[in-house]
Amino acid sequence: MNQKDPSASAGSEHYIEEARRSLKARAEAMRRARRLRFDTIAVHGLYTVDEALDHNHGAIMEPTVLSSAQAYRDSDEMELALGYKIPTWCYTRIHNPTLGFLEDKLALLETYGSDIKAGCCVYSSGMAAIGNTVDALLALPGTKPPNFVSACQLYGGSYQLFDARMKRERGVDVRMVIDTSNIDEWRRNIDKNTRFLYGEMPSNPGLAFFDVAAVAALAHEHGIPFVIDSTIASPALLRPILHGADVVIHSATKVMSCSGLGMAGAVIARMPITSNIPNDELKADFALYLKRYPQREQGGCLHPFQATMTLADLRTLRARVDNWSQTAMAVARFLEKHPGVLAVNYLGLESYPLHEVAKKYLWLVDAEHDQNYGKPVNRYTHMMSFRVKGGAEGTRKAFDRLNLIWRATDLGRVKTVATIPAISTHLLQGEEAREKADVPADLVRLSVGAEHPDDIVADLEQALSAAK
């Protein structure tokens, strides 16, 4: 790095003026990006030709900034940066330019099809994103101990976070809704100390689904935000912010990073969120608040190399979600007719009780502008679960015979993966909680990947012949 002449300090005004210009250019780039189609945003985000030529040697891919920290030109710039008076990334635990490209892209994709503004804060995993969000919404001052109301059908890790860590270890009043399609059950649990409503949709592995607009409206009636984990649907099928949600959480480890090389999480929050917390900064831009304070001090930051891998996988999100959803539909239809299968939970099956509400919300983005479709098209995700005849033992027998399909606690992968949630993802929450969340011992979760459907079906066929 060049030695600086100490007498040549550019001065605070210069840096503030430079920041003004860069924020203006960024707002203009955002405006331009908002006019693009979903696929184009997924490919480019805010990384433009001008940006590449000005700052990245013309490289057509976003820079992976592998550096723990950013250098400043002088003490004026350092002070302004660390006081958040000018845009900066400082230190990779606080921010990093590669993370910025991922955050801009995710905020644009989650608000696609609307004028709603949102911010994004990425994390080292989905659980870090959930933990930080919930903590931030509970932590602020209030006269009475706060509570929150959550759907009971959750990914096992989220359930454990709420039940074991928050409720039993810290005494937080966590109120679980068993029947999420019953709006009165949500309503009954809310009081003046409720800080937020929380849901997961479609839920993993039970495929619970509810009327997101109705729950968001209920939250807003009480002046509180609705937080939703939308990992399984992804913005290619559902953008909950457009239906009133305040905060969307993703385990970006899953379909967004489908190659399966690492972990990532994301929080995307509308600006502003509805909240009864007396903190204007938190309400105005919740994602930025998370980044500047709780994440900075709790340290769940994403590695820039992982951000690059997630950026790469995201470019093909819509096409993959479309293709895998169609394969999942074919597999679900096969399972539905199979004599060795007791029940299939797949949102696309007309026989599934939540099909109608899923049909209302799950639409392949831009199908009406797609040369293959030219009209709106429903798609129902890559995830299903099914119950095998022969109880827990028969289920394990069939599961152990899978050849092509991987036995692993994973999903949203380019490879088809299966697990038995009762002995894996939902093992720690215990029998009673599994019963409430409808996770029986004979349930198999299947996440369909990019293989040909014939081969997935053939593997299931031979495996199920063992269950009888």
Which position has the token pair 């004026």?
A: 76
Q: Which of 260, 265, 440, 449 binds ligand PLP (CB under 6 A)?
A: 265
Does 210 bind ligand PLP (CB under 6 A)? Our answer is: no
Does 325 bind ligand PLP (CB under 6 A)? Our answer is: no
Considering CB under 6 A, how many residues would be counted as binding ligand PLP?
15
Does 127 bind ligand PLP (CB under 6 A)? Our answer is: yes
Crossing angle, helix 97-110 and helix 304-314, to 10 degrees? 30
Does 253 bind ligand PLP (CB under 6 A)? Our answer is: yes
Separation of alpha carbons 168 and 405, rounded Å: 37
Cis peptide before 235 (omega within 30 of 0): no
Measured from the CB atom, the residue of 46 and 263 that comes closer to ligand PLP is: 263
Does 80 bind ligand PLP (CB under 6 A)? Our answer is: no
| Nearest-5° Cα angle at 97, 94 to 101 | 115
Does 225 bind ligand PLP (CB under 6 A)? Our answer is: no
Does 204 bind ligand PLP (CB under 6 A)? Our answer is: yes
DSSP SS3 for 81: helix
Of 150-158, 307-315, 366-374, 430-438, the segment contacting ligand PLP by CB under 6 A is 150-158
C-alpha to C-alpha distances, 239 to 225, 279, 363, nearest whole angstrom: 16, 26, 10
Measured from the CB atom, the residue of 92 and 251 that comes closer to ligand PLP is: 251
Q: Which of 96, 132, 180, 231 binds ligand PLP (CB under 6 A)?
A: 231
Of 1-9, 21-29, 125-133, 280-288, the segment contacting ligand PLP by CB under 6 A is 125-133
Measured from the CB atom, the residue of 260 and 265 that comes closer to ligand PLP is: 265
Q: Which of 38, 47, 112, 155 binds ligand PLP (CB under 6 A)?
A: 155
Of 179-187, 207-215, 224-232, 352-360, the segment contacting ligand PLP by CB under 6 A is 224-232
Q: In angstroms, how far is CA 314 from the centroid of its own chain?
A: 13
Q: In angstroms, how far is CA 343 from the centroid of its own chain?
A: 28
Report the helix count and the strand count for the chain, using DSSP H and E.
18, 12
Separation of alpha carbons 258 and 241, rounded Å: 23
Does 313 bind ligand PLP (CB under 6 A)? Our answer is: no
C-alpha to C-alpha distances, 125 to 145, 266, 440, nearest whole angstrom: 28, 8, 27
Does 200 bind ligand PLP (CB under 6 A)? Our answer is: yes
In one-letter notation, the amino acid at residue 343 is A
- Give me the least distance between CB of 237 and ligand PLP, in Å please: 14
DSSP SS3 for 202: coil
Cα Rg, the chain, nearest whole Å: 23
- Give me the least distance between CB of 203 and ligand PLP, in Å please: 7
Residues that bind ligand PLP (CB under 6 A): 125-127, 155, 157-158, 200, 204, 229, 231-232, 251, 253, 263, 265
